[in-house]
Amino acid sequence: MEPFRLAARDIACRRGDRLLFARLSLALEAGQALQVSGANGIGKSSLIRILAGLARPFDGTVERAGTIGLLDERPALDNDQPLGKALSFWTALDREAAPLEQLGIASLLDVPVRYLSTGQRKRAALARLIGQQADIWLLDEPLNGLDVDAVKLCEELVAQHCAGGGIAVIASHQRFDLPGMSTLSLAEYAL
């Protein structure tokens, strides 16, 4: 089995007629994490989508070895279903239950997803991500809407994922506390 890896070589991102960034390269191996930072509209979310394979780079190449899990502003949970049913749908596919008690959402299983707060939705999305058991986690603004305790929990979960040999890319305006994590400022590649 090939070891987990995520690499991008000389990628560029274009949105409409505007080139957001160019000549961006990165390489991550098992156990590594990278935080991507930059101003609003610079292309952090676009980079995450390119790395996930949901968008094509305008130029350059992306190589992935391992399964991808994405956490973004769309939690992929049915708004009309109670949280428990919405998560059960994914658990049936993933065959792995997430630590609902640890994430502080076990008492919310009867609440329709549409009524969850931003932080509760984010923790539910983390449950979905953990259940996937993906090798590579791509997290777009994972700390938005989380209280102080939930921020620490998110950081711990990512640390555990990387300690277990996973890869994490975190696009965030907020400081993400993860020892040994590399950083990449998109401003260096902006045009």
Q: What is the pLDDT of residues 75-91, one digit of tens each?
A: 788 899 999 999 888 87
pLDDT digits (tens, 9 = 90+) for 150-169: 999 999 999 999 999 999 99
Question: Is 70 exceeded by the pLDDT of residue 43?
Answer: yes
Strand-pair partners of 64: 6
- Tell me: pLDDT of 3 over 90: no
Would you tell me the crossing angle of helices 118-132 and 83-94 to the nearest 10 degrees? 20
**Which pLDDT band holds residue 67 (cuts at 50, 70, 90)?**
very high
Helix/strand/coil (H, E, C) string of the chain? CCCCEEEEEEEEEEECCEEEEEEEEEEEECCCEEEEECCCCCCHHHHHHHHHCCCCCCEEEEEEECCEEEECCCCCCCCCCEHHHHHHHHHHHHCCCCCCCCCCCHHHCCCEHHHCCHHHHHHHHHHHHHHHCCCEEEEECCCCCCCHHHHHHHHHHHHHHHHCCCEEEEECCCCCCCCCCEEEEHHHCEC
What pLDDT, on the 0 to 100 scale, is given for residue 95?
66
Q: Please tell me the predicted confidence (pLDDT) of residue 55.
A: 95
The two three-digit tokens of residue 84, written as one number: 């428990």
Percent of the chain with pLDDT over 70: 98
The encoded tokens of residue 88 equal 């059960």
Q: Radius of gyration (Cα) for the chain, nearest Å? A: 17
Architecture of the domain delimited by 5-188: 3-Layer(aba) Sandwich (3.40)
The predicted pLDDT at position 100 comes to: 85
The pLDDT of 125-129, averaged and rounded, is: 91
Q: CA-to-CA distance for 57 and 66, rounded, in angstroms?
A: 20
- The whole-number pLDDT of residue 90 equals 83
Write down the pLDDT at residue 1. 58
Q: Which pTM value belongs to this model?
A: 0.92
